[in-house]
């Protein structure tokens, strides 16, 4: 279910106390500014009707609100988040669970888990890695390796940066196009970008959700050119320019001066695939009535 606009008021109206009242009443909401006005959205039409009635009563002096003596801790509606964004939640959960797989690298070891996540099995440390061909690996039935490199992250910062982008743009796609669309888009980008990265660099020790992240950003940006009236697809043009500029800088090789080797092939492939997908395939999610 999409959110419902309950109130639209001027920016001079102080909604702090009223929002505190909604929090105390366990009414999920969000407030944002749009074209010089404050907009308050809630989860359902029933909540919207209630909010309007209580707001009118408050402004009319029929409802007295007071600051709570003991501020309530904000509650995260985990069930609602899981119901609305199951694919985003699953991606983040798997990435977090797989994060410790790279920790043995700090001690110049591969550990027991990492070789199962790389695009081909690897062995050896502190020198040349030994690995088999992708063709023989797939012939043996290890098809999961086409996807699992996206869950390999080399540190918490690496994961946090990728997670921030995937959560922001993944939820947009899941909300505007549906969970199936996001899942298929993620799998397609993961498989093609991983294979391309391995084929062009012939190095198996790479990973991260960044290729998928670039693909999701590209999908949202390009789709926004077609669905201009849907807020879920709107991206500030300066952000899109910054994304491409950053990718160009990283592809220049300047990061390698600092010992940071980046899987730029996966990034470019993700960017292209996301753009092409938005040009050719624009499903609408159930919450958008499609």
Residue extents of the structural domains in the chain? 4-75, 79-288
Q: Comparing 38-42, 158-162, 177-181, 237-241, which segment has the lowest mean pLDDT?
A: 237-241
Buried b (16+ CB within 10 A) or exposed e, 187-212: ebbbbbbbbbbbeeeeebbbbbbbbb
Rounded distance, CA 68 to CA 70, Å? 5
Which one of the listed residues 140, 210, 238, 275 is annotated catalytic? 210
Which one of the listed residues 21, 153, 193, 267 is annotated catalytic? 267
Between the CA of residue 168 and those of 79, 220, 233, 251, what are the distances in Å? Answer: 18, 10, 11, 24
End-to-end Cα separation, the chain, in angstroms: 12
Residues 170 and 232: beta-carbon distance below 8 Å: no
Residue 126 has pLDDT above 60, yes or no: no
Rounded distance, CA 285 to CA 181, Å? 8
Which residue, 281, 216, 208, 209, is CA-closest to 243?
A: 216
pLDDT digits over 178-207, tens only?
Answer: 999 999 999 999 999 999 999 998 889 899
Active-site residue, 158 included: no
Options 1.25.40.10, 3.90.1660.10, 1.20.1540.10, 1.10.3720.10; CATH of 79-288? 1.20.1540.10
Rounded distance, CA 152 to CA 158, Å? 10
pTM score over 0.75:
no
Options 1.10.150.650, 3.30.70.600, 2.60.40.10, 3.30.70.2080; CATH of 4-75? 3.30.70.2080
Rounded distance, CA 188 to CA 185, Å? 5
Mean pLDDT computed over 6-24? 90
Token code pair at residue 227 = 């669905």
Name 34's bridge partners: 37
Rounded distance, CA 290 to CA 284, Å? 5
Which residue, 122, 247, 261, 134, is CA-closest to 191?
A: 134
Residue 162 has pLDDT above 50, yes or no: yes
pLDDT of amino acid 239? 82
Spell out where the chain has E strands.
4-10, 29-34, 37-42, 122-123, 130-131
Active-site residue, 210 included: yes
pLDDT digits over 65-118, tens only?
Answer: 876 655 555 566 778 888 889 999 999 999 999 999 999 988 888 899 999 999
């Amino acid at each position: 279910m999409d959110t419902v606009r309950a109130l639209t008021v001027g920016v001079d109206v102080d909604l702090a106390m009223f929002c505190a009242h909604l929090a105390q009443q366990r009414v999920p909401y969000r407030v944002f500014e749009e074209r010089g006005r404050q907009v308050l959205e809630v989860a359902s039409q029933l909540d919207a009707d209630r909010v309007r009635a209580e707001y009118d009563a408050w402004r009319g002096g029929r409802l007295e609100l007071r600051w709570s003596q003991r501020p309530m801790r904000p509650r995260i509606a985990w069930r609602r988040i899981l119901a609305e964004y199951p694919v985003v939640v699953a991606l983040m959960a798997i990435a977090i669970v797989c994060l410790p797989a790279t920790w043995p690298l700090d001690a110049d070891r591969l550990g027991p888990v990492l070789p199962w996540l790389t695009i081909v099995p690897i062995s050896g440390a502190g020198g040349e890695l030994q690995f088999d061909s992708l063709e023989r690996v797939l012939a043996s039935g290890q098809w999961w390796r086409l996807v699992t490199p996206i869950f390999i992250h080399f540190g918490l910062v690496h994961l946090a940066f990728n997670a921030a982008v995937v959560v922001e743009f993944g939820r947009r796609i899941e909300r505007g196009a549906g969970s199936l669309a996001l899942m298929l888009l993620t799998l397609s980008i993961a498989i093609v970008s991983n294979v391309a990265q391995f084929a062009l660099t012939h190095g198996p020790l790479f990973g991260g959700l960044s290729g998928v992240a670039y693909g999701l950003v590209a999908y949202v940006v390009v789709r926004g050119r077609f669905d201009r009236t849907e807020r879920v697809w709107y991206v500030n043009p300066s952000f899109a320019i910054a994304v491409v500029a950053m990718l160009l800088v990283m592809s220049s090789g300047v990061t390698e001066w600092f010992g940071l080797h980046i899987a730029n092939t996966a990034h470019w492939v993700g960017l292209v695939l996301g753009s092409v997908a938005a040009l050719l395939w624009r499903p609408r999610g159930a919450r958008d009535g499609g």
